[in-house]
Amino acid sequence: MAKDSAEAVRWWLQSAQNGIAEAQNRMGYLCEYGLGVPQDFREAARYFSSAAEQKLAVSEHNLGHMYQYGQGVPRDYARAADLYGQAAARGLAPAQNELGVAYARGAGVPQNAASPFRLFVSLQNRERRRRNRISE
């Protein structure tokens, strides 16, 4: 590993240990993929959980992913859907998508064809508004 990468990990780790949610999320990502640190799904889930407790939407989504696939935590579709729902409520598009898929499949939530449709339309409308702002 390059010296700069090791230094970056050191700073991310220090910030994560100081309770900075964004750094905890970054450390979770590094642990999940083994980037600059040994791959460790349990440690990744722990970091994502710490950041999710601070209501960081991307960490709620990432932790939901860990529960959905049973990486570092027991597989729990209901917990995954709950976490996706929290992140979706904060406006995180990937979480809205995952929640829609969960409703469409009935994974951890009651199967409901109308719920994913509403979520996907919401995503489409938000993307349309974003594109309109850019083109103005």
Give the homologous superfamily in CATH for domain 3-135: Tetratricopeptide repeat domain (1.25.40.10)
Closest CA to 42 of 57, 27, 55, 52: 27
Where are the chain's structural domains?
3-135
Please give the residue that has the higher pLDDT: either 126 or 55.
55
pLDDT > 70: percent of the chain: 82
Residue 118: pLDDT over 90: no
> What is the tens place of the pLDDT at every residue in 64-112?
999 999 999 999 999 999 999 999 999 898 998 899 888 888 888 777 7
Please give the residue that has the higher pLDDT: either 45 or 133.
45
Least trusted range by pLDDT, from 52-56, 67-71, 93-97, 130-134: 130-134
Q: Which two tokens stand for residue 46?
A: 């722990």
Range 17-35 average pLDDT: 98
Closest CA to 71 of 104, 33, 98, 18: 33
Range 26-53 average pLDDT: 97
Residue 1: pLDDT over 60: no
